[in-house]
Structure 1
Amino acid sequence: MLKDFSLSALVTGFVSVLVGFTSSVAIIFQATQNLGATPEQTASWLWAIGIGMGVPSIVMSLATRKPILIAWSTPGAAVIGAAAAAGHLTMPQAIACFLLNGVLIAIAGFSGGFEKIMNRLPLPLASALLAGVLARFALDAFVAIPRNPLLVLSMAAAYVLGRRFWPRANVPVILVIGVAIAAAQGLLHMELVPWNITTPVWVTPEWSVPALIGTGIPLFIVTMASQNLPGIAALRVGGYEAPVSRIIGWTGVSTFLLAPFGAFGINLAAITAAFCIGPEAHPDPRRRYWAPVSAGFFYLLVGLFGATVAGLFAAFPKELVLAVAGLALLTTIGNALSAALADEGYREASVMTFFVTLSGITLLGIGAAFWAIVAGAIVLAFRRKAV
C-alpha cells in the first residue's frame, strides 16, 4: 500500500480537513455556546468528532482501497444549535439525541434500506446533485476576489498555469502560494493559537421524549438526507462502488460510542469527499484512497489538540480557504455537469436537481440535497409519462 502513497494525496487530505473545518466549525461553536457548554466540553466535542471521523476514514479507505472520507453532520450541528437557542434542549438532552441518532444511522445502514433507495437514483441525477453541492464553493471563490484581489487572483493564476505545466501538483502549489501571500500581507495570526492537548469530557444523557422527537429525529433525517445522500452520490459519480450499507452502519456505531463526549453525527463526507475522489488527489483513481487516509490522520490531530487545531485553522484568512476549495473543485464540478447533461432523456430532471441543490433551501428542517432529488424525480416521472 505504501507504494500508492503520494504527496498530492497528502496535501489533498489536508485541504479536505482545512476546508471542512474552517467552513463549518463556527456552527459547532455556536451550538455548544447555545447549550451552555464549558470550554472543556467544547474541546471534547472536537475530540469526539475528530476521533469519530479519523479512525473510520483510515480503516475504511485502507480496507476497501477506495477514497472513503468521513465527516461530521454540518446541518445536524445547525439543528442542535437552533433547538438550544430556542430553549428546547439542554446539554444532557442533546447527548441523548446524539445516542438516538447513532442507533438510527446504524439501523439504516446495516439493514441495507438506505442503499436500496440509493440504487434507484439515476447517475445523471446523482451527478447533478454533486455539481450543485460543489458549485457553491466555486462561486464563493470568485466572490472573494474583491475582498483580496492579490491573494485570490494569484491563486487562480497558479491554477490555470498548473493545469498546463504541473497538473499533479496543482493543489499543493495553489495552497503554498496562498499561504505565502497571506503571510506577506500579515494575515496569518499564529500568535493567537492556543497550544494544549484535549481531555474528553463525559456527559450523562438525559432522556426526554419531547427532545428526542423534536431534535433527535430531525438530526437523523438531516444527517441522512443532507450528508449521506450526496456522499454516496459523490462516490458513484467518481466511479467507485463501495459497501455503502456497512460504511453507513459503522458511522452510526461511531456516533453512538462517542456521543457522550459530543459526537452529534458522524457520516459520509459530501462536499469535502470531492477533493479525495477527484484527479487532484492522484491521476490514478486506484491510488486516491490515500487522500482520505491522510485526512484521517489530520482528523486525529484535530481530536488530540481540539481547540488548538481549531485556532490553527482559523489563523488562515477566509479568502485563502475559499479560493483553495473553489479552485480545487473546478475539475470535479465540470465532470459532474458533463455526466448530468450528457443524456437528453435526463437533462431537464438534472437541471432541476442542480438548481434546487444550488439554492441551498431548507424545508421542514431538511436540506436542499433531499429536495433536489425529490424535484428531479418528479420532473423525470412526468417526462416519461409524457413520452
Structure 2
Amino acid sequence: MAKSPASLKPHPAGAASRLDSRPIVAGIVTALVGFTSSFAVVLAGLKAVGADPAQAASGLLALTLAVGLGVVLLAWRSRVPVTLAWSTPGAALLAASGAADGGWPAAVGAFLGTGVLIALTGLVPALGRLMARIPTSLAQAMLAGVLLQLCLAPFKALGTVPLFVGPVIICWLLLMRFAPRWAVPGALLVALGVIVIALAANGTALPHTTLLPTLAWTTPSFSLHAMVGIALPLFVVTMASQNVPGVAVLRSFGYGTPWRPAMLVTGAGTALGASFGGHAINLAALSAALAAGEEAGHDRSRRWVAGFTSGLAYLVLAAFSAALVTLVNAAPAGMLEAVAGLALLGTLAAAVSAALADPEDRIAPSVTFLAAASGLSFLGIGSAFWALAAGLLVRAVLKPRLPRAAG
C-alpha cells in the first residue's frame, strides 16, 4: 500500500484556484452524508452489546469527535484528501453479535482491543500481511451474513408499524432513483419528521437535559469471549470493509494513502474513544470519493482542503449528536433498525457480490455467510468468529479441488 501522497500538479489557475469554494463544500457534504447515512447503525450496534441510551449517545459523540479530530490531523499533515469514518460494518457486526459475557464493560474492553490491533497494523508490517492472507471472499461473506438481519428490519417493521416506516421506505426509493447519494439522509429526515409528528400528536415532550452532548466513562473489563467474539471480528471487518477499500478509492483518484499515520491515528482514536463507548474509526470508503474527486475542485493539490473541512464539519455535528439520539430513542420499536437496514442495503449487495464473485470458490463463502447469518453462539463467542473459522476450514478442505493457475 502506498505510504506517501502522489505528486500532484496544481491547477493552472494558480492563486485563483485557492479561492475555489468547492473543496469546502465537498468537505461539508462528505461529513453530512457520512454522519446522517449511518449514525442509526451505530446506535443500533451499541445498544445491542449492552449500552443504555446515555452510553450509546456518548459512544456516538466519542466517534464523531475522534473522526473529526483525526481527519483534521491527517489531511493537514499529509496534504492528501484523506477522510475518516466510523466503522459502519463494525456497528452492524455489533448489532448481530448481541451482548457479550461481561456486558457493556466487556464490549468496551473489546473496542479498546480493536484500537490496539488497528494501531499495530501500522506499526508491524507483518500484521498487515497476515490480514491480507484472509481471503476477501470470506471476509465479505462474513460481513454479508452479519448485515442480513439488519437489512430485513425495514420489511419486518413495515408489518408492525406501517404508518411510520412506509413513508421512510417510499422516500428512500424515490431518492435512490433521482439522487442516490441523499437516499439514506433523506429517509432519515423523513423518519425524524414522522417521530416529531407522532410525539406532537401524543403530547409528549422530550427531556431537555438529554439534548446536550455528554461523554460517559465506562471502565473497560477484559474477557477472552469478548476479545475473540467482538474485538477480532470487528478488527477484520473494519480492515477488510473500510480501510482496504479506503486506500483503493484514494488510489483511483491518483492519491497515495499515508498508511502508517492513518493506522496510528485511527487506532489511537479508537482506543481513546473506547471507554466513552466508541467502537472503531477507520479510513472512509464510499464517502472518500466525495472529497477526492472532481466535486472537490479542479486543482488536485487543493483537494486536501475537502478532507480537512469534513473533519471540522464532524466537530460541529458532534454538538447535535445527543439531540438526535434523544429523538431517535423516542421512536416506535423497530424504527431505528429499519432506517439502519436501509442504510446498509448497498453494503449488503456489494458484500454478497464480492463474496460470490469467483464461480469456482462459492462453497466456503456460502458457509461463512450462512454461519454468520445464523446467529450461532458457542462458548460465549458470537457467530462472526465461528463463521470466519468455518469458512477457512471449508476452504482449506476444498482448496485442492479448485483449478490451479497455469504455470
TM-score, normalised to structure 2, is 0.67
User: Residue 152 of structure 1 aligns with which residue?
Assistant: 165
Within-5 A mapping of 1:188-337: 191-194=206-209, 197=212, 215=222, 218-235=225-242, 236=244, 239-240=248-249, 246-254=261-269, 257=272, 262-263=275-276, 266-268=279-281, 277-278=285-286, 297-298=313-314, 302=318, 310-337=325-352
CA 1:338–1:309: 2 relative to 1, 3 Å: closer
User: Structure 2 residue aligned with 1:345, among 333, 357, 360?
Assistant: 360
User: Relative to 1, partners in 2 of residues 1:29 and 1:257: Cα closer, same or farther, differing over 3 Å?
Assistant: closer
Which of 91, 112, 115 is the aligned partner of 2:128?
Answer: 115
Percent identity of equivalent pairs? 28
C-alpha distance in structure 2 between counterparts of 1:221 and 1:111, whole Å: 21
**For residues 322 and 96 of structure 1, what CA distance do their matches in structure 2 show?**
25
SS at match of 2:167: helix
Distance in structure 2 (CA, Å) of the matches to 1:314 and 1:103: 31
Q: Hey, what's the Cα distance between the residues in 1 that align with 2:276 and 2:119?
A: 14
Counterpart in 1 of 2:9? none
DSSP 3-state at the match of 1:184? helix
Let me know the Cα RMSD of the aligned residues: 4.6
Question: Which whole-Å deviations, capped at 9, do the CAs of 1:34-72 have from their partners, x for residues lacking one?
Answer: xxxxx8x99877765554454335545785535532359
Q: CA deviation at 1:95?
A: 9.4
Where does residue 55 of structure 1 map in the other structure?
A: 69
| Shift, 1:351, TM fit | 0.8
Most deviating of 244-253 and 194-203: 194-203
Distance of 1:268 and 1:147 partners within structure 2:
34
**Shift in alpha-carbon separation, 1:277–1:44, aligned structure 2, 3 A:** closer
Matched residue of 1:185: which SS? Answer: helix
1:186 aligned counterpart, secondary structure = helix
1:120 Cα deviation from its structure 2 partner: 0.9
**Aligned-partner Cα distance in 2 for 1:42–1:328:** 19
Q: Structure 1: any 5+ residue segments left out of the alignment? A: 33-38, 206-210
TM-score (norm 1): 0.70
291-300 vs 135-144, which deviates more?
A: 291-300
Consecutive unaligned residues in structure 2, runs of 5 or more: 1-22, 252-256, 297-303, 403-407
1:369 is matched with 384
Partner of 2:103: 82
Q: How far does residue 229 in structure 1 lie from its aligned partner after superposition?
A: 0.8
- Cα distance change, pair 169–69 in 1 and its aligned pair in 2 (3 A): closer
Paired residues of 1:137 and 1:325 also in contact (CA < 8 A): yes
Rounded to whole Å, the distance in 2 between the matches of 1:193 and 1:327 is 30
List per-residue Cα deviations over 1:18-43 (Å, max 9, x = no partner).
3312542474545x9xxxxxx8x998
1:124 corresponds in structure 2 to: 137
Q: Deviations over 1:112-167 (max 9, x none)?
A: 34322221122322322232232222111211112211222232223333333333
**Aligned partners of 2:230 and 2:382 also within 8 Å:** no
- State the secondary structure of the residue aligned to 2:347: helix
Q: Taking structure 1 as reference, are residues 119 and 327 closer, same or farther at Cα in structure 2, changes over 3 Å only?
A: same
Quickly say closer, same or farther: Cα 1:233–1:320, change in 2 above 3 A: same
- Number of the residue aligned with 1:36: none
Q: Which moved more, 1:276-285 or 1:354-363?
A: 276-285
Match of 1:164 in 2: 177
Tell me, yes or no, if the aligned pair for 1:17 and 1:299 is still in contact at 8 Å: no
Residues 178-229 of structure 1, C-alpha deviation per residue, up to 9 Å, x if partnerless? 33333333379552342565676889x8xxxxx97xx255554445413121
Distance 1:12 1:221 in 2: 29
Q: Write the deviation string for residues 308-327 of structure 1: whole angstroms up to 9, x where unpaired.
A: 66424423444432232222
> What is the total number of aligned residue pairs between the two structures?
355
**In the alignment, does 2:46 pair up with 1:24?**
yes
Q: Secondary structure at the match of 2:199?
A: coil
